[in-house]
Structure 1
Amino acid sequence: MGRIPTIFVSHGSPMMAEHPSENDKETQEFFESLGEDLLAWGVQGVVCISAHWQEKSHAGKPPRVAVTSTRHPELIYDFYGFPDHLYKIKYNGQGNSNLAKKVQKAIQSQNLTCDLDDRRGFDHGAWVPLKLMFPDTNAQNESQVPIVQLSLSSTLDPEFHVAVGKALQPLRDQGILILGSGGAVHNLRELFGPKQQWSSAFIAALTDAMKSHGEVRREAASSLTKLPIFRQAHPTSEHFMPVAVVIGTAHDDENATVIHDVYPKYAPNFALHAYKIGA
């Protein structure tokens, strides 16, 4: 089995879950192929960190995250203005309380706060890519591997999220995929173009950061947010923050590769880039 790579993906529009999709066919096929490759690597479970769940801290308490622990997570249709049939899509993700407890223990071992949440389901930042990567086609009509979703902290502090990733790092040697799901660029106001220079400039900076190593890569999770173009690429930072978690899970000497680099024709500034670190 060996060490499982750690991956960040841009989850794209909920329309991605509609199959086949003329506009997103290339990215759909990427997700399907990626899932097949990961199963071949020996993935035994998935921890998905989506941009769409930010856990609030209690008053006067340090930042915290939470992890889903229900056996049958429901889908959360947290998007608006899309065709009605998208709100009827089903995906039977195989929740797993043992995996959730393993995640909680790993995070708590680094003196960080992580709660179990037995009510939370999967938001579209999780289920859209997961439905394509790990279809619910096993003998029980569930996803092929157990899946839990881990929240961000509402602080959206890059250093904290790198620390969360660092805590999760040992799970990669136990067959667990750490999957960050957000957006390499996520500016909905500028979504439909024309293509802007800041979009490709931020992607270049992000790619350079991911391909660096050790402390330089970890520090880049914060330094990227201080670039003048960051707020153009990310007016709010939640879609960037899964990058910080993925960076934290990387070992110092592991190399990163760009595994998907598509700008959809219908949305020239919607960079659907994905990165793999390790393996």
Structure 2
Amino acid sequence: MMPSLFLAHGSPMIALQENAYTNVLSEIGKAEKPEAIVIFTAHWETPVLTISSVEGEYETIYDFGGFPEELYQMKYPAKGSPDLAKRLSELLKSANIDSQFDHRRGLDHGSWTLLKHLYPDADIPVVQVSVQPFLPLEQQFKIGEAIRSLGEDHILVIGSGVTVHNLRQINWGATEVEEWAVQFDSWLEENMLKGDYDTLFRTMEEAPHAQRAVPRPEHFIPLFIAMGAGNRETPDILFKGYELGSISYLSAAF
């Protein structure tokens, strides 16, 4: 049984870095060898859930600016899987969730910067999926729940986002983590480990510093998609860490 994962993608620079977090990603890739990957990325927002159905090799998208030239030279030449895209659509339809296909879009940095460390050979088919950021958290969970059976067939579902993602709160000279960011993540972790989904669905109303941590939901909701797709009774916290004072790298397996 393949778990689902919520993985923080943080800065695009992780594609070039070797650190404690990227080492964890590499170890996950060694431990889990899926037949295919379905990845929901915070950097693809659509009004209708959109599934990549790409024949052949993906283009690598550089959806960022102001970074070293080396980053723009990187490629992640994974191939798509129209058959898996079709299956994904059918699973969503059976749960009364609308979706559509995209046949052209490449892999954005919410996908390839993680996949480069997980599976550097780019030899596993990938289906990238958009997010609908303004659906309620309970509905995001149901999207994951609708595709939970993929884990039984050794297909890895990944939600790629960030729990604490407020670019206005970045402290470029930070040497310590902001306490408010830790408090928000700790609240999430506590309720995830308890399996208290009803409370988690009320995160924005009840979690400490929720509005500060999540000023906009697109990076937060992949957590709930991964959570819904999970097969484990109790999640595993894979990594906890921060960058620039508050950008979280909290990651978990469900």
- For Structure 1 versus Structure 2, the TM-score category normalised by the shorter chain is over 0.9
- How far apart, CA to CA, are the structure 2 residues paired with 1:269 and 1:146? 33
Contact 1:161/1:244 (8 A) holds in 2 = yes
Determine the structure 1 residue equivalent to 2:210. 230
Q: How does 1:111-126 map to 2 (within 5 A)?
A: 111-126=96-111
Determine the structure 2 residue equivalent to 1:257. 236
Pairing 1:44–2:35 present: yes
CA apart distance, 1:154 = 4.2
Contact 2:54/2:79 (8 A) holds in 1 = no
- How far apart, CA to CA, are the structure 2 residues paired with 1:221 and 1:250? 15
Count of matched residue positions in the alignment of Structure 1 and Structure 2: 249
Pairing 1:202–2:200 present: no
1:246-273 residue CA offsets vs partner (Å, 9 max, x unmatched): 121134x611111111224xx1312211
Determine the structure 1 residue equivalent to 2:129. 150
- How far apart, CA to CA, are the structure 2 residues paired with 1:159 and 1:255? 19
Pairing 1:108–2:93 present: yes
Q: How does 1:1-279 map to 2 (within 5 A)?
A: 3-18=1-16, 21=17, 25-39=19-33, 43-56=34-47, 64-71=48-55, 72-136=57-121, 143-192=122-171, 193=174, 195-213=177-195, 216-217=196-197, 219-226=198-205, 227-251=207-231, 254-264=233-243, 267-277=244-254
1:166-225 residue CA offsets vs partner (Å, 9 max, x unmatched): 101111111111111101211112222463221000110110122122xx32x2442112
Going from structure 1 to structure 2, the CA distance change for 1:108 and 1:96 (only over 3 Å counts) comes to same
CA apart distance, 1:93 = 1.1
Percentage of matched positions with identical amino acids: 31
Contact 1:195/1:268 (8 A) holds in 2 = yes
- How far apart, CA to CA, are the structure 2 residues paired with 1:197 and 1:234? 15
Query: Could you say what the CA RMSD is over the residues aligned between the two structures, in angstroms?
Result: 1.6
The letter of the residue matching 1:29 is: N
Greater shift, 219-228 or 126-135, is seen at 219-228
CA apart distance, 1:84 = 2.4
Contact 2:132/2:218 (8 A) holds in 1 = no
- How far apart, CA to CA, are the structure 1 residues paired with 2:105 and 2:223? 22
- How far apart, CA to CA, are the structure 1 residues paired with 2:59 and 2:194? 38
Contact 1:44/1:176 (8 A) holds in 2 = yes
Contact 1:221/1:247 (8 A) holds in 2 = no
